[in-house]
Chain A
Amino acid sequence: MPEIEGSPGTSMHGVTGREPVLAFSVASPMVHTDRTAKFDLPVDSEHKATKFKLFSFANPHMRTFHLSWISFFTTFISTFAAAPLVPIIRDNLDLKKADIGNAGVASVSGSIFSRLVMGAVCDLLGPRYGCAFLIMLSAPTVFCMSFVSDASGYIVVRFMIGFSLATFVSCQYWMSTMFNSKIIGLVNGTAAGWGNMGGGATQLLMPVLFEIIKKAGATPFTAWRIAFFIPGWFNVIMGILVLTLGQDLPDGNLGALQKKGDVAKDKFGKVLWYAVTNYRTWIFVLLYGYSMGVELTIDNVIAEYFYDRFDLKLHLAGIIAACFGMANLLARPFGGFTSDYMAKRFGMRGRLWNLWLLQTAGGLCCLCLGLVSSLPLAITFMMLFSIGAQAACGATFGIIPFISRRSLGIISGMTGAGGNFGSGLTQLIFFANASFSTEKGLTYMGIMIMLVTIPVSFVHFPQWGSMFFPPSQDIVKGSEEHYYVSEWTEEEKQKGMHQASLKFAENSRSERGGKVTSAPTPPENTPNHV
């Protein structure tokens, strides 16, 4: 007689001593492992990896991970390369405070548009082309810094370089095609977090390059221009690597799979419609503007803040500013991890609470950062703020893949764009104005973060509930299949276009949360219902 799952004494967890304790791998009977597929990592029915092996470069899953996050990292370096060099640039180009502020706004505004477009490109052409095209075409914009001679030129070039931040969307989308939803929070958080680190790395890299070039004999006003060639070349190299080594889906490239008939070609209008009419999309667009958005804002203003307010030297201000961005190494994956961890016990409700807590805590620390006038306290609050905001970013993208299956690309794009919009708006209101001091701007930004995070309590999934309400009791409406398949019309269902959504619905049942005593079966056992 087969043993009933979950009954006392049946759990084999810990017996062999080799099981992983945490959710880095998925070995639950709720996710079918596809053993017919020949991949380096165990995969599910969609051929998405169910395990995350960080130091592997095996094709396709882990190789994609590394190509993806490094491309994104590179675009962050390019976009924020000017920020730590502003004390030199402002003298060379005779900039005023408003010019510097407007350039900061411009640097994040370009990608509001490009992130939206990238979402559609990923849905229709695949993330590989999207990423490669963008990163290669933005290399000339970085090289253009050498021609800039006044404020307007500076603003225009920073605007154009900023378009490249849309690689965020291709990065997250690519991760969602390659990794199973149970670990997607951690995977997306790690990829995006490590990409975001570029905003911190550039604060260290550019002053160092500047010093080296100066020592080699260039005058300051020439040295900073030469320094910009390095980020430009990073763009070119990564573009070539993505084209030669990457692939869109675990089974191959999108174009080839569409020709074979394995992947249905979708219509842009439909994909857009289902993204835009889902209210949850808009709530996350708003929220991301005040987690990612404020991170981008800080990347632009913090080095100058420490240089001017605390009278630090350029490279020292750069080091402190770098610490903010580099916290992404652990902070954003941490947010994704806590999202997955909370989901294991409390399902989607856990993910939502996790997001609210992290983002609100970040806002509080930002408020404090603006209020303190001692350097050690300022650094402390800056670091706490960075952890809160960046973990919130990770937590957000632990939830996004569940809003829609059909329109994932566009929703990722819209959310990403929302991040940039929030950043542009915040810089415009609080940091481009000569009448506000930067510390006042930081305090007000902290308050705004806390207010804007409240709407997350309105996000409700009929199959999983929300922060305060339980899931729908209706058997049909409360099922994952109903939610995801409702994005397709009867005609489309007859053509079989909704198959991918059905598979996804099945794999997403884990978002109901488990009972406290439920434990994963060890990999050697076959699940009972195969």
Chain B
Amino acid sequence: MKSFLLKVSLLLFFLLKITNGDVLFSSLPRSLFVVVSTMEVLKAGEDNITVTFGLNQTVTNQTDESYKKVKVKLCYAPVSQVDRKWRKTNDNLKKDKTCQFTIYNKPYERNVEGFKWDIEKDVPTATYFVRSYVYNDADEEIAYGQTTNDKKSDNLFKIEGISGRSMLIDIASICFSVFAFLSLVGFFFIEKRQSKVKT
């Protein structure tokens, strides 16, 4: 009796969330597969990754008639989420912050060759995996696929972000600092000399 009540209330809870318009990740079927080309450490702004994705052949009785749009996203692995609440995983996809970079956004086609994505310069240093979502007409997620397992522990890859520093900025910074220091010292001595002249 108790477990029955629990199941009913959980079901109602999920239904409520869905009828509210909030899609839960745990409710999505893993109908797609995603494969990423390389597993070495990659450099932002220099390297690229090749992603292939499509319908997961092992899942039977699939129909992709309601699949209208596909997005592929770059997502943080759990190790890069530790002590960083701004990357937290939330089952409610509206509040979920795991996948912050969309690398592919196109209408759904059954047979896609795969694509190459140049790792952009604003991608930070972290460990990642790739996930794809398919959307229906109402722009809601209805299925997903990802390169890693459910625990998000294998097939992860690292990206090294750019430092953001440049020689030009460093030089400008040093020049301005020297100017500030010299003008201070200069003023001080000029005033000292002026007061000596006066007395």
Contact B165 A139, beta carbon cutoff 8 Å:
no
Q: Is A21 part of the binding interface, using a Cβ–Cβ cutoff of 8 Å?
A: no
With A90-B86, A97-B85 already in contact, the answer to whether A219 and B169 are too (CB < 8 A) is: no
Q: Is A268 part of the binding interface, using a Cβ–Cβ cutoff of 8 Å?
A: no
Contact B122 A221, beta carbon cutoff 8 Å:
yes
Separation of A419 and B176 alpha carbons in the complex (Å): 31
Contact A143 B176, beta carbon cutoff 8 Å:
yes
Q: Is B54 part of the binding interface, using a Cβ–Cβ cutoff of 8 Å?
A: no
Contact B183 A149, beta carbon cutoff 8 Å:
no
Separation of A144 and B82 alpha carbons in the complex (Å): 29
Among the listed stretches A32-40, A108-116, A233-241, A333-341, which one makes contact with chain B, having 4 or more residues with CB under 8 Å of it?
A233-241
Among the listed stretches B3-11, B18-26, B142-150, B156-164, which one makes contact with chain A, having 4 or more residues with CB under 8 Å of it?
B156-164
Contact A233 B176, beta carbon cutoff 8 Å:
yes
Separation of A308 and B90 alpha carbons in the complex (Å): 13
Chain A, residues 85-111, CB within 8 Å of chain B (1/0): the string is 001001110101110000000000000
With A143-B176, A221-B121 already in contact, the answer to whether A137 and B162 are too (CB < 8 A) is: no
Contact B183 A92, beta carbon cutoff 8 Å:
no
- Can you name the residue of chain A whose Cβ is closest to the Cβ of B177? A140
- Contact residue among B95, B162, B174 (Cβ-Cβ distance under 8 Å from A221): B162
Q: Is B199 part of the binding interface, using a Cβ–Cβ cutoff of 8 Å?
A: yes
- Which residues from 460 to 493 on chain A have a C-beta closer than 8 Å to any C-beta of chain B? none
Chain A, residues 202-234, CB within 8 Å of chain B (1/0): the string is 000000000000000001111011100100110
Counting contact residues on chain B (CB < 8 A from A), the size range is 20 to 34
Contacts of A232 in B (CB 8 A): 176
Separation of A179 and B95 alpha carbons in the complex (Å): 55
Contacts of A143 in B (CB 8 A): 173-174, 176-177
Contact B83 A97, beta carbon cutoff 8 Å:
yes
Q: Is B125 part of the binding interface, using a Cβ–Cβ cutoff of 8 Å?
A: yes
Least CB distance, B109 to chain A, in whole angstroms: 32
With A146-B169, A221-B163, A259-B199 already in contact, the answer to whether A235 and B180 are too (CB < 8 A) is: yes
- Contact residue among A94, A136, A146, A226 (Cβ-Cβ distance under 8 Å from B184): A136
Q: Is B139 part of the binding interface, using a Cβ–Cβ cutoff of 8 Å?
A: no
Contacts of A221 in B (CB 8 A): 121-122, 161-164
Contact B180 A149, beta carbon cutoff 8 Å:
no
Contact A98 B83, beta carbon cutoff 8 Å:
yes
Contact A224 B199, beta carbon cutoff 8 Å:
no
Q: Is A377 part of the binding interface, using a Cβ–Cβ cutoff of 8 Å?
A: no
Q: Is B37 part of the binding interface, using a Cβ–Cβ cutoff of 8 Å?
A: no
Contacts of A222 in B (CB 8 A): 162, 164-166, 169
- Which residues from 427 to 455 on chain A have a C-beta closer than 8 Å to any C-beta of chain B? 434
Separation of A136 and B180 alpha carbons in the complex (Å): 6
Contact B84 A139, beta carbon cutoff 8 Å:
no
Q: Is A133 part of the binding interface, using a Cβ–Cβ cutoff of 8 Å?
A: yes
Q: Is B124 part of the binding interface, using a Cβ–Cβ cutoff of 8 Å?
A: yes
Q: Is A132 part of the binding interface, using a Cβ–Cβ cutoff of 8 Å?
A: yes
Contacts of A311 in B (CB 8 A): 95
Least CB distance, A318 to chain B, in whole angstroms: 16
Contact B173 A139, beta carbon cutoff 8 Å:
no
Q: Is B138 part of the binding interface, using a Cβ–Cβ cutoff of 8 Å?
A: no
Least CB distance, B74 to chain A, in whole angstroms: 13
Contact B124 A94, beta carbon cutoff 8 Å:
yes
- Contact residue among A147, A308, A434 (Cβ-Cβ distance under 8 Å from B86): A308
Q: Is A58 part of the binding interface, using a Cβ–Cβ cutoff of 8 Å?
A: no
Chain B, residues 176-199, CB within 8 Å of chain A (1/0): the string is 110111011001000100010001
- Chain A, interface SS category: helix
With A94-B125, A149-B163, A149-B165 already in contact, the answer to whether A236 and B83 are too (CB < 8 A) is: no
Contacts of B85 in A (CB 8 A): 97, 308
Separation of A225 and B163 alpha carbons in the complex (Å): 11
- Which residues from 270 to 299 on chain A have a C-beta closer than 8 Å to any C-beta of chain B? none
Separation of A233 and B180 alpha carbons in the complex (Å): 9
Separation of A91 and B173 alpha carbons in the complex (Å): 22
Separation of A243 and B165 alpha carbons in the complex (Å): 34
- Can you name the residue of chain A whose Cβ is closest to the Cβ of B100? A91
Contact B166 A236, beta carbon cutoff 8 Å:
no
Contact B165 A94, beta carbon cutoff 8 Å:
no
Contacts of A226 in B (CB 8 A): 169
Contact A220 B184, beta carbon cutoff 8 Å:
no
Q: Is B119 part of the binding interface, using a Cβ–Cβ cutoff of 8 Å?
A: no
Contact A239 B161, beta carbon cutoff 8 Å:
no
Contacts of A263 in B (CB 8 A): none
Separation of A90 and B166 alpha carbons in the complex (Å): 19
Separation of A143 and B175 alpha carbons in the complex (Å): 10
Chain A, residues 126-157, CB within 8 Å of chain B (1/0): the string is 00000011001101100110110100000000
Q: Is A255 part of the binding interface, using a Cβ–Cβ cutoff of 8 Å?
A: yes
Contacts of B176 in A (CB 8 A): 139-140, 143, 229, 232-233, 236
Q: Is B126 part of the binding interface, using a Cβ–Cβ cutoff of 8 Å?
A: yes
Separation of A94 and B84 alpha carbons in the complex (Å): 10
- Can you name the residue of chain B whose Cβ is closest to the Cβ of A140? B177
Q: Is B112 part of the binding interface, using a Cβ–Cβ cutoff of 8 Å?
A: no
- Can you name the residue of chain B whose Cβ is closest to the Cβ of A307? B86
Contact B184 A137, beta carbon cutoff 8 Å:
yes
Q: Is A256 part of the binding interface, using a Cβ–Cβ cutoff of 8 Å?
A: yes
Contacts of A225 in B (CB 8 A): 164-165, 169
Contacts of B181 in A (CB 8 A): 136-137, 140
Separation of A147 and B184 alpha carbons in the complex (Å): 23
Contact A147 B84, beta carbon cutoff 8 Å:
no
Contacts of A136 in B (CB 8 A): 180-181, 183-184
- Which residues from 185 to 202 on chain A have a C-beta closer than 8 Å to any C-beta of chain B? none
Contacts of A236 in B (CB 8 A): 176, 179-180, 183
Residues of A within 8 A of B (CB): 87, 90-92, 94, 96-98, 132-133, 136-137, 139-140, 143-144, 146-147, 149, 219-222, 224-226, 229, 232-233, 235-236, 239-240, 243-244, 255-256, 259, 307-308, 311, 434
**Considering the complex of A and B, which 8 residue pairs feature the smallest CB-CB distances, nearest first?**
A221-B164, A140-B177, A91-B124, A96-B83, A136-B184, A139-B180, A219-B121, A143-B173
Could you list 12 further interchain pairs (A-B, Cβ under 8 angstroms) beyond the known A92-B161, A221-B122, A224-B164?
A: A133-B184, A136-B180, A137-B180, A139-B177, A139-B180, A146-B172, A222-B162, A225-B164, A225-B165, A240-B183, A240-B187, A243-B184
5 A-B pairs whose Cβ atoms sit less than 8 Å apart in the complex: A87-B86, A139-B176, A140-B176, A146-B165, A243-B191
